[in-house]
Structure 1
């Protein structure tokens, strides 16, 4: 199960299932807007030429490095206020360095208010990962505003359930 497949399943469910949007937003500091917030997937798709509205949103950080958000979703509420979710997805076999986690917040700050990123006013960062991964990477995971476990996602997105049952690839034993 690749990270890209999981990203795609998550973004597709986010776009097509209002109840899932409400559930996800209710886990963030934007919970009071969970019902009224409108996902701007079409506007994101129109903002640039890319295959997927949610994927490959790159920006240059202040240190000169380029950095990408796995899943980027902008919502709009009454009075034209916008907020973004910057979502990092870490499958069971993934690694999460403290610098990568910290870059999510830095990237979100830098992207805020810019036209090419739909001029959002506020943001939240979210980590999607298996519960065991979150526990084993507690310091890095703590850099995110919201933690969502694969176990929670598995209840509504079958691919996440499948990813929890697949053993990581191991090198074949060497024969002497």
Structure 2
């Protein structure tokens, strides 16, 4: 019995140390992302037979139902940072600027090109938060890849998006350094 316990412990210790130091690094434990952002196109006339598989209902906080295109146009995997932009007439509300990745720039250009003037649904953690008019320009993307999201957000929500943007981006775009 003692020999079996000793062999088990020796194998366990050998396995932990041969796997490398990253195995014991508790700071890299995966956590669920919070305040994830998704942007969807709101469908004006749902029920078209050709688009049945593309359109899904989205419940709002006040009990209404919006119909959205199933495929989102921008989400938390597409921006690595966010910063607050105050709204002059509304001290308790902010807009958010997003620093887009390469993929995010392409998605932004598609969204602006296809849906300028249409309503978009901003979802936070898969729940509809607000709707806004898609009114940017494709050339809004500057040298540093920052774009302004036209949605008005309350202080807490905007701050939480800014605070969680880097960790959400890292969660959805894991580094490949530790794979080998």
Normalized per residue, the structure richer in helix is 1
How does the TM-score come out when normalised to structure 1? 0.28
Structure of greater relative contact order (alpha carbons < 8 Å, 6+ residues apart): 2
